A and B are shown apart, each in its own frame.
Chain A
Amino acid sequence: MIDIILSGCGQGIIWALLAIGFYIAFRILDFADMTCEGSMTLGGAVTAMLIWQGVNSFLAVVIAFIAGLLAGAVTGVLHTKLKIPPILSGILTMTALYSVNIHIMSIATGTSGTANLSLLKYIDDTVFAIIRSIIPLSKRDVTLVFGVIIVLGTIGLLYWFFGTEIGCAIRATGNNEKMCRAQGINTDNTKIIGLALANGLIAVAGSLLTQHQGYADVKMGVGSIVIGLASIIIGEALFARAKGFFFKLIGIAVGSVIYRVIVALVIYSGMPSDDLKLMSAVIVIAALAFTNYKNEIVGAFKKLFSRFKKKPEEKEEKSNE
């Protein structure tokens, strides 16, 4: 059982990168970015294609990041320059990326229309395999360890970035756009930078996932928005008192891990897997309800406990009489 929890953690920590990227767009920029499904697959497709071509897998991750930056920038331009509403901009980029991803994967195989790229032949070239050749770790542990390092490093970098002048300007844009324009901030640029950064991180998540699961598939982004949202909501529910940007991001990473572990436990326990999506919805609803009705729920628990406390006190009173 420990194995299954740790394997869920490993997956969860990679998805944490996606959740953090989504958080930048969704909470910091106040932009519901649907590009996620496309840019995650983009990261995976680019990485798989590059590994097929013999490019070093670490470099492939960096290039995947850049590809994600471009995808996010496209969404940003669609919204700021063409005045397309936020959700629609994301959906348009995501739709376009479906074809782009197929073209990218086709470069590797030479057959047009490739929608699935297997890394099984190159399993020794992935970042995880390379790390394992240096440090003796099991397959499951290397994902967890490497994932934790990357996520912590990313959170540290983001903490620094959003404290810089341009980072503050991006945060302010999500907070009060009119005021920013009055302060001479080019909100078009800040939005584009913010979205680019968000999707860059999401693409890295896709890249690492592809290397972990051994293949890239044009459909691998489907459902990722729900996973990202669920991670954010669970993280915010549990870390509501977290003060400071750093701890908020940690909370999201933890939320992502918890979500994946719950899913893994559900599967392990033998629940009919047709109900998996229903379970996901229930988890998110529970987290949201907890966030919104925290006081009532905690109050109800307190009442329960106080009843147990009263009983021994009453006994004391009776014995005193």
Chain B
Amino acid sequence: MSEANNARPMLVLDNIVKIFNAGTVNEKIALNGLSLTINDGDFITVIGGNGAGKSTLMNAITGVFKVDSGSIVLDGEDIGHLPEYKRAKYFGRVFQDPMMGTAAGMQIDENMALALRKGQFRGLKWGVSREEREDYKARLAELGLGLEDRLTSKVGLLSGGQRQAVTLLMASLKRPKMLLLDEHTAALDPKTAAKVLEITDRIVGENNVTTLMITHNMKDAIEHGNRLIMMHEGRVIIDVSGEAKKNLTVEELLSMFAKASGGEFTSDRAMLS
């Protein structure tokens, strides 16, 4: 894992506010004046209790909705006004649900071909070329899951872990500016989850891509990445990086949270894992 390049911010979030159902009894302030500077090459793990705003943060960055106030500047460009599909070419996203990142009815090579053309005009050229197939085979072989022999299998036939691995490959295929991982191992069994995380580390390291990874597992959050942030009620309350992060233990993290938020960490999942 290379050191973060401190001189160059990749994503600057300034005072982001997002309120759902404003003015009603269901009003929820999901992001409450959140500010965060992510540097090029950072691999940030994000933890927090339910409703802390982690997924909302990712949705705000990718443009699933527009924020109520605050600015989102990606690599110097203000992307806050762009619709989702126009921001898509900058980001690679992997979701918790293995079904979401791929088209189940289409083949592995077709899915990867779709990802390769992200941001490009899609015309009448053939969908998957022979050269591409060789490239995909090589990349799939690196995963060590035996998928390189199943290029023409429909993705729907793969297991959850295999699908997430393919989604990861697809997300990083065009060297995006940022990789956004939203609890992408949460739906997998521990053994597969560990494998997928191992693949994640390798892909992030090889491509040196700025990564934001949401996880509910505090141990994983400490062991992966170079920087850890903890969110609570729509803001960042803990931000640890470098050596301090490496040497953290789960107990220390919990007490840091109690001090910063004035309450016990309420996520059972995080506690028990």
Contact = CB atoms under 8 A, between A and B. Distances in A.
B85 interface: yes
Contacts of B102: 176, 179
Contact of B106 (A168, A178, A184, A187): A168
Contacts of B86: 184
Interface in B108-129: 110-111, 113-115, 117-120, 122-128
A164 B128 CA distance: 8
Interface in B198-214: none
Interface string B161-203: 0000000001000000000000000000000000000000000
B237 interface: no
Contact of B123 (A163, A166, A183): A166
Contacts of B111: 172
B260 interface: no
A171 B89 CA distance: 20
A86 interface: no
A169 interface: yes
Nearest to A188: B85
B127 A167 contact: yes
Contacts of A171: 103, 105-106
Give the interface SS of chain B, mostly helix, strand, loop or mixed.
loop
Interface string A259-292: 0000000000000000000000000000000000
A72 B88 CA distance: 28
Interface in A137-179: 161, 163-169, 171-172, 175-176, 178-179
Interface in B91-148: 91, 93, 99-106, 110-111, 113-115, 117-120, 122-128
A96 to B, nearest CB: 29
A6 interface: no
B84 interface: yes
A304 interface: no
Contact of A183 (B88, B104, B128): B88
Contacts of A161: 124
A166 B122 contact: yes
Given A164-B125, A165-B127, A181 B103 contact: no
A175 B111 CA distance: 11
Nearest to A171: B106
Contacts of A165: 113, 117, 122-127
A186 interface: yes
A175 B118 contact: no
Given A171-B105, A181-B85, A181-B88, A164 B123 contact: yes
Report which residue of A167, A179, A181, A186 has the largest number of chain B beta carbons within 10 angstroms of its beta carbon.
A179
A166 B123 CA distance: 5
A93 to B, nearest CB: 25
A148 to B, nearest CB: 26
Interface string A72-114: 0000000000000000000000000000000000000000000
Interface of B: 62, 84-86, 88-89, 91, 93, 99-106, 110-111, 113-115, 117-120, 122-128, 170
12 contacts: A164-B125, A165-B127, A172-B114, A179-B102, A181-B84, A181-B88, A182-B62, A182-B84, A182-B93, A183-B115, A183-B117, A184-B85
List the 4 closest A-B pairs by CB distance, nearest first.
Answer: A175-B103, A165-B122, A184-B88, A168-B127
Given A161-B124, A172-B110, 17 more contacts: A164-B123, A164-B126, A165-B113, A165-B126, A168-B106, A168-B122, A168-B127, A169-B114, A169-B122, A172-B103, A172-B106, A175-B104, A179-B103, A181-B85, A184-B86, A184-B118, A184-B120
